Structure 1
Amino acid sequence: MEIIDYPNYNERLFVSKLSNGLTVYMQPKKGFNKTTAVLGVNYGSIDSQFILNGQKVVQPAGIAHFLEHKMFDKKDYDVFELFNKTGARSNAFTSFTKTNYLFSTAESVKENLDILLNFVQIPYFTAAKVEREKGIIDQEINMYQNDPDNQAYFETIASLYPDSVLANDIAGTVQTVGSITLADVELAYKTFYRPENMTLFITGKLDPQETLGWIEANQADKPSPEPISLQRLENFERQDQPTIHHRQMNVARPKVTLGLRGTDPVPTGRAGLKYEIALSVMFDLFLSENSVEYDKLYHDEIIDDSFSWEFENERGFHFAVISCDTSEPTILIDRLKAIIKKIPEALPSRTAEFQLQKNELFGNYVEMMDSEEAISGQFDGFIGEPVTIYDEVEILKSLTLADVQAISSDFLKQVVMQAGIIQDH
């Protein structure tokens, strides 16, 4: 078992790659009473097209999310009931690039690990259950389609990445979900739900040697799948001219989104994390509540406390989405574009603000270190090297304003922007 030390925080990460390819990461936390485990699959909504054993496969949009739902649907038991009987809380979610299954518990860790591994690694699919699931997911999709914030976000992404898998909602559409067959589900599972394409991260109250023994015993009962040749197809080449997309929905005030698509190559591993943190600091310096730009927009009554931004840096793509409810949608878009345009020349003068922003972010990280849910949420084992919350803090501590300026300059000089407005009928 490999041990990665974080001496500045008196923490250690225990790493073991099992014979079947599953990589297990364990981070014991002294004084914690709960244990959280996340079984991650390197498979998300953008993986609907791939080359398997030399043959191109195109699957319906939303199939990764559909498969996540199907994993809980068993022949003669309910997965949530099994977790509930042990006092554990369980959940799952699908993103653009990952599917995660997790539980948190204060007792019966071994039993819950067995439940987690077994229900994900022992599927039960039938044509009847696939058809029944479609109606359930249709209701979820219709709920999303009636949510203006959800629609504003995903329509902005679609305008940034037209004619690509990113233009599809993670859940797909009623039409694409309706076309999913039992064969589609079985093929997706066999292709991506493989031990070598999965990681298990556990943190909180645990003994690494004992816990690893439980996991090895569980995996010994499971057959290893046949080797495959897999090539993911991620085509995000096309870029359109900037436009403003309009949509009518039942909203009290117009909603504005401004998407910024990065086109420069992004490094992987910790270097990629530095890129992500630097751009997050950049956005905070100009768009957080502490910035003079935010203050000016707020006092001009262009924005309110609904104003927010988020940044995604995932496998093969990265983008930011700024959003706000406003009575002045076109003015807000113009003001935001003007702020973004001046960032490269304004950054060098933000020395004091930069240090304050670093201190605030550091405080947020320290707070997260006391939560096993936050620790597991920050962990990533699919980017070439394991990245923990402690790696993020070390990168933040060493980050300079010159780093932020260099990375921001590369991002902004090639950025593609698309805006959207949702207004009442």
Structure 2
Amino acid sequence: MQTINYPIYGEKLLVSQLNNGLMVYIQPKPGFNKTTAVLGVNYGSIDRSFQLGNQTIIQPAGIAHFLEHKMFDKKDYDVFELFNQTGAASNAYTSFTNTNYLFSTTEAFKENLMILLDFVQTPYFTAAKVEREKGIIDQEINMYQNNPDNQAYFKTVNALYPASPLSSDIAGTISTVNQIRLKDIELAYQTFYRPDNMSLFITGKVDPQETLDWISENQQAKSWGSQPSVSRQLDLSQDQPENRHFVNMTVSRPKTMIGIRGNDSVPTGRLGLKYEIALSLMFDLFFSENADEYDKLYHDEIIDDSFSWEFENERGFHFALLGGDTDHPDEFINRIRTIIEQIPEIVKRKSTDFALQKKEQLGNYIQMMDSQEAISSQFDGFLGSPLTIYDEVAILNELTFQDVVQITQSFLNKASFQEVIIGNTKSRG
């Protein structure tokens, strides 16, 4: 095993690639009683168009999420019940680019680890079970469609990336889910659920060598056939003119969201993480509760405590969203858009605020280091070299004010915008 040391924090990450290609990352935490494991698959909702050998494959929207559901449904048992019997808490989720399966436990760690590896790597699909699952997912989609926050998010992303896999909800639509067949599920699994397209991250009370031996033995007992080369296809070239979109829903107050699509080039790996951290700092400089701009919007009753922002930097795309509840959606949009348009110039005068905001972010990171959930969620094993929460702190420490200014200008000078209002469009303020 390779050891990556983080001496400042007294931490280490042990890394090993097994013969079948599975990347294993183990971060021992001797003072902890709980152990958490995350088995990640480098496959998400946008990966439904790909080249398999000389064949072009286009699959229905929502298939990655559908496959996640099906992994828990075995021939004569339910995987959640296995975890429950050992006292472990388990879960799974699908994002635009990844699918993650995880558990945490204070006991029977080896047994739970074997359950995790076996249920993800031993599929059981039948046509009858696929058809039955459609009704379950249809209910989930209906629930999402009746959730104003969910609709605000996906309507905005849809507007930013029209006619692309990003324009669909991660779960798909009832129509696309009903198009999924057994052969689609089997092909998606065979193509992407391979050890060389997975990573296993473990943190907690573990013996690294003993744990790696368990994993190696488990993997040696399994075999995967060869397959043609896979090339993912993601066309995001279409960018529609800026528009304001209205969605009628029954809400107590309108929900308003501004989407900012990044059209500049973003590096991968450590430099990509630097880009992400720099923009996070920039948004905090203008839209955190400590910012003058936020304070003015708040006291003018344009925003309230529901206001938030987020920045997503994923494989092949990046965007920012700013939104919240407001009684004055048109003014909300106009005021925030005015601030954003001025940011490339005003940010140059925020050096003092930058130093303070940087210290606050460092404090947040230090606090997260005591949380296994935070450590696990911050880890990324699909960027060529593993990036941990400790790497994020190192990048933040090295980040200069000029870095933030340059990256901010790169992002905003080429960005495009979309706006979404959820509510009664006849009573806009």
Superposed structure 1 runs of 4+ greater than 3 Å apart: none
Q: Is residue 64 of structure 2 the alignment partner of residue 74 of structure 1? A: no
2:311 is aligned to: 311
What is residue 12 of structure 1 aligned with on the other side? Answer: 12
Match of 2:227 in 1: 227
Residues matched between the structures, number: 425
Alpha-carbon distance between aligned partners in 1 of 2:25 and 2:225, rounded to the nearest angstrom: 22
Whole-angstrom CA distance in 2 between matches of 1:367 and 1:228: 45
Q: Check whether the contact 1:362–1:393 (CA below 8 A) recurs between aligned residues.
A: yes
Matching residue of 2:159:
159
Please report the TM-score for the alignment, with normalisation by the length of structure 2: 0.98
Partner Cα separation in structure 2 for residue 124 and residue 224 of structure 1: 15
Counterpart position of 2:329? 329
SS in 1 for 2:420: strand
The separation in 2 between residues aligned to 1:18 and 1:42, in whole angstroms, is 17
Distance 1:202 1:9 in 2: 18
Tell me how far apart the structure 2 counterparts of residues 249 and 107 of structure 1 sit (CA, whole Å).
46
Superimposed CA distance per residue, residues 315-342 of structure 1 (whole angstroms, 9 cap, x where no aligned partner): 0000001111111111111111110111
Shift of 1:387: 0.4
Question: What is residue 149 of structure 1 aligned with on the other side?
Answer: 149
2:114 corresponds to:
114
Deviation at residue 209 of structure 1 after TM alignment: 0.3
The residue type equivalent to 2:73 in the other structure is D
Structure 2 residue 97 is the aligned partner of structure 1 residue 97: yes
The aligned counterpart of 1:191 is 191
Separation in structure 1 between the aligned mates of residue 101 and residue 216 of structure 2, nearest angstrom = 19
Q: Aligned partners of 1:208, 1:40: CA distance in 2, in Å?
A: 19
Q: State the AA in 2 paired with 1:296.
A: K
- 2:319 aligned counterpart, secondary structure: strand
In the aligned structure 1, how far is the partner of 2:201 from the partner of 2:301?
A: 45
Whole-Å separation in 2 of the counterparts to 1:399 and 1:250: 44
Are 1:252 and 1:424, in contact at CA under 8 Å, matched by a contact in 2? no
Provide the rounded CA distance (Å) in 2 between the counterparts of 1:2 and 1:225: 28
- What are the within-5 Å matches in structure 2 for residues 16-415 of structure 1? 16-415=16-415
Q: CA deviation at 1:30?
A: 2.3
Paired AA for residue 348 in structure 1: K
Tell me the TM-score normalized by structure 1: 0.99
**What is the identity, as a one-letter code, of the residue corresponding to 2:303?**
I
Q: What is the alpha-carbon distance in structure 2 between the residues aligned to residue 64 and residue 225 of structure 1?
A: 21
What is the root-mean-square deviation of aligned Cα atoms in Å? 0.8
Q: Separation in 2 of the partners of 1:120 and 1:210?
A: 22
Distance in 2, matches of 1:287 and 1:31, equals 37
Tell me the CA shift for residue 46 of structure 1. Answer: 0.1
SS at match of 2:175: helix
Letter in 1 for 2:363: G
Q: Deviations over 1:277-296 (max 9, x none)?
A: 00000000001111000100
| 1:351 positional shift | 1.7
Q: Deviations over 1:201-254 (max 9, x none)?
A: 000111110000000011111012313210000111111111100111001111
Q: CA deviation at 1:109?
A: 1.0
Q: Which amino acid aligns with 1:68?
A: E
Distance 1:168 1:78 in 2: 29
Q: Is the 8 A contact 1:86 1:107 kept in 2?
A: yes
Give the SS at the match of 2:8: helix
Partner AA of 1:72 in structure 2: F
CA contact (8 A) 1:308 1:322 kept: yes
Counterparts of 2:122 and 2:225 in 1: how far apart (Å)? 12
How far does residue 266 in structure 1 lie from its aligned partner after superposition? 0.6
CA distances 1:137-195 after superposition (whole Å, capped 9, x unpaired): 00000000000110011000000000001000000000000110000000000000000
Contact 1:287-1:293 within 8 A present in 2 as well = yes
Is the aligned partner of 1:421 residue 2:421? yes
Aligned partner of residue 231 in structure 2, secondary structure: strand
Q: What is the deviation of 1:19?
A: 0.4
Identity percentage of aligned residues: 66
Structure 1 stretches of 5 or more lacking a match?
Answer: none
Counterpart residue type for residue 125 of structure 2: F
CA distance, structure 1, for counterparts of residue 424 and residue 100 of structure 2: 36
Q: Check whether the contact 1:194–1:225 (CA below 8 A) recurs between aligned residues.
A: no
CA distance in 2, matches of 1:240, 1:137: 30
Q: What letter corresponds to residue 130 of structure 1 in structure 2?
A: V
Shift of 1:54: 1.4
Give the partner amino acid of 2:250. N
